[in-house]
Amino acid sequence: MYVETTLNYDQKLDLLFVAIDSFGHHDNDNPRPTDWVHEIVDNWVPVYNNHVRDAWIEADCPEPEDYDVEGTGNIHNRMQAGIYYAAESYLRQVIIDADTIGEAIDAMVQQRDVVENPAKYWQHA
């Protein structure tokens, strides 16, 4: 299943790689993999202003003003929040049906394959 996101090809693959690696350090039977999404995405989102700007441009995000995040006054914080939102939404959609870490890893591995080899998953009408 292809999951829509504003993240570009490299960002999706990098996020999936980081998430698979992070989940790989946990017991496969561990329940509620979505509980880890916040921590994974928080560590993945860039911190330094120039990296935030680059990630923002690469992700083809909408205007920062569209992310009215209270208490984040400057533009870089709003851009960072937008990247965070895009990454968190994407990862949650990928593992939405997973009940365990093992199932989440399987879903992310499949999504990585979908991103890398989309022609394998094209549906002919």
pLDDT at 73: 64
pLDDT at 48: 81
pLDDT at 70: 61
Instruction: Give the other-Cβ count within 10 Å of 81's Cβ.
Output: 17
What's the number of domains the chain is made of? 1
pLDDT at 58: 84
pLDDT at 118: 86
80 found inside a domain: yes
What CA–CA distance (Å, rounded) separates 116 from 60?
19
103 found inside a domain: yes
125 found inside a domain: no
104 found inside a domain: yes
Domain containing 63: what range? 9-118
Q: What residues pair up with 31 in beta bridges, in sequence order?
A: 100
4 found inside a domain: no
49 found inside a domain: yes
Buried b (16+ CB within 10 A) or exposed e, 42-62: eebbbeeeeebeebbeebebe
Continuous H helices in 4-118:
9-23, 37-44, 49-58, 75-94, 101-116
Q: What is the pTM of this model?
A: 0.82
pLDDT at 21: 94
What CA–CA distance (Å, rounded) separates 28 from 14?
21
pLDDT tens-place values along the chain, 125 residues long: 667 788 999 999 999 999 999 998 888 888 888 888 999 999 999 888 888 888 888 887 766 556 555 655 677 787 888 889 999 999 999 999 999 999 999 999 999 999 999 888 776 54
